Amino acid sequence: MKFYLSQPRQQFFEYMIASLGSLIFVGVLIPWFLLAFPPFLFVFFYLQRRYVVVSRELKRLEAISRSPIYAHFTQTLQGISSVRAYGMQSKMHDIFLSFIDANHRSYILFVHMSRWVGVRLDFATCICVTLASLLVVIMRNSISVGLAGVVIVQSLQLTGFIQYSVRQAAEVENYFTSVERINAYSNLPTEAKPDTSPGIIEKDWPSRGDIEFVNYTMSYRVDLPPILNEVSFKINAKEKIGILGRTGVGKSSLVAALFRMVENEKCTGDIIIDSVNIKSIGLDDLRKRLSIIPQDPILFQGSLRFNLDPFEAYSDVEINEALERAHLTGKIQSLEAGLQSAIVQNGENFSVGQRQLICLARSLLRRSRIIVMDEATAAVDGETDAIIQSTIRSSFEECTMLTIAHRIDTVIDCDRVLILAQGGRIAEFDSPHRLLSSNPEGIFASMVRQTGPAVAQKLQKAAEDAERKRIERKNIAE
């Protein structure tokens, strides 16, 4: 059985044995050197500890400040067309240089600290060799010239090995900041269990689509203020709910709460879907039964079919039907490989509108009872927006829908509109027509007025038409 040593470990044992041999050799020839050696050893390791305390933190800062450089460079390459279109090359270049400067501030200090400890170690080495030479001179009558030379060489080699060991020990501790970061990531709290215990939900859950928030409060971290503050409201089955509010009031946080993306000690209250508290449901069972069309359409590198049906749960006929309802049949037929056409990273071989329609087809294919649209039409043109809205009205009629929007005309025909105010509280929650007629000084009415007289009048009429249709549907249902 052969035993192999890695190169660093082999070098460590070689230096350790060589240092021990040099110490024994010098100690036998000049015993007085053994009395002076421990103080020098103490000085070496004292300098090493002083150096490590600062250099370790500088190395940590250098590693942390290096990440934004790579992130900014990657983001610039991904959005290079937009950067050039808006003439922002100089600004992006200046931002890149500022990140490099921030990184170099800690890196240069780290280099200076290395020089600091290097000078002092060299000085201590010189003193140690000088002492050995002085002892040789004092004992010149009892030691030969040849052995005197060997003692000086061995003392120089001994201090050199110790200096190298001190430097390497410091370097190992500095580079262990990377291990520290990896360990921090590996010990992050994990999400809840993916599967649901038997008997809690039925196979077709949710079958109706009722959603109720009960005194729900959410913070993204325990040291941050709540972004949703004791939110309570109920959404009936098949209702179309529009969610409006200023930036930062918690519109997207409602979606994160619904999918249980954030869970910590400060997330309190309950979310109930079809009489089942989602806290008792496994994450996989919850998320695969809800559908979301995000603001930034997400496509993965692979085939078009893989992006629509990654688990191969549907046939080509069902996929083509979903594509037809999303008005993508013409685009897919123009591709040589059809459903097997390759999608590059981030779907950059499709336009933003086409990517959004592919995400819409993905939701149509899953036939979920609850659909969330997180500002899905924010980055598309008016024509694509009209296509998406038309498809939603015809295809998701039997679904409960939550639509986060920045355009009032997107939610003006919803059954009810939820207005979130600063502090994550509900300011208004009613049908658009009632909010305009019964509360003309309210937030929603103010938003409508800010669109201008002509558009406001058009929105008023659309709200009245939507209210009339809603009453007709209610009467038919009764």
User: In the numeric block, which tokens belong to residue 269?
Assistant: 């209250």
Comparing CA positions, the residue from 411, 306, 400, 402 lying closest to residue 362 is 306
pLDDT of amino acid 166: 74
- CB 26, CB 144: distance < 8 Å: no
Q: What does the pLDDT look like over 168-184, one tens digit per residue?
A: 777 777 777 778 778 87
The class (CATH top level) of 211-430 is alpha beta
List the beta bridge partners of residue 213.
233, 271
CA angle (208, 211, 215) in 5-degree steps: 160
Token look-up 């019964």 returns: 438
Q: What does the pLDDT look like over 421-468, one tens digit per residue?
A: 888 888 888 888 888 888 788 888 888 888 888 888 888 888 888 888
- CB 62, CB 68: distance < 8 Å: no
- CB 419, CB 429: distance < 8 Å: yes
Residue 71 has pLDDT above 60, yes or no: yes
User: In the numeric block, which tokens belong to residue 293?
Assistant: 């069309």
Q: What would the CATH number be for the domain defined by 7-186? A: 1.20.1560.10
- CB 359, CB 278: distance < 8 Å: no
Q: What does the pLDDT look like over 213-236, one tens digit per residue?
A: 999 999 888 888 888 888 899 998
Residue 475 has pLDDT above 80, yes or no: no
pLDDT of amino acid 9: 53
pLDDT of amino acid 116: 86
